[in-house]
Amino acid sequence: MGRIDVKSFVSLHLLFVLYSLTDLFGKMAASFAFDDPRFYLLYGAVLAVLFLYAIGWQQAIKRLPLTTAFSNRAITVLWGLVWGVLFFQEELNPLKLLGAAIVVAGVVLYSRADAAQGSGAPIAKEGDDAAC
């Protein structure tokens, strides 16, 4: 494949921000009783986000190698920390920051190596028999 398209890569990471909202809405929903309408509203939001994510994911893997797209998914750990601090007043400690830094470093290293080597396998295009 050669170089990774920057627009596709940025779109992929915006998709991961969207995906990370499922954890946020799920945790918020867990704070309400099962018979509370807010519980159902928030879990409905989880399902809506997952629906949008599924569509976006299919588009992402059309444009990027699956190995690149899937390895970058680990960045949602960082977004989980952000949502925890912003919405749930969770404390950041050095171990959480170190863990997030390791995840981000791994994503960056893998992405750079993947871009430098190429993906190895061509991306299936519409109309190809292998694109089932």
| Structural contact between residues 15 and 53, judged by C-beta atoms closer than 8 angstroms | yes
Q: Average per-residue pLDDT in the chain?
A: 85
| Structural contact between residues 49 and 18, judged by C-beta atoms closer than 8 angstroms | yes
> What mean pLDDT do residues 3-19 have?
89
Supply the Cα-derived Rg of the chain in whole angstroms: 17
> What mean pLDDT do residues 77-81 have?
90
Q: What is the pLDDT of residue 123?
A: 47
Q: What are phi and psi of 88, to 5 degrees?
A: -125, 10
pLDDT in tens, 36-54: 999 999 999 999 999 999 9
Model confidence, pTM: 0.75
Q: How confident is the model at residue 27 (pLDDT cuts 50, 70, 90)?
A: very high
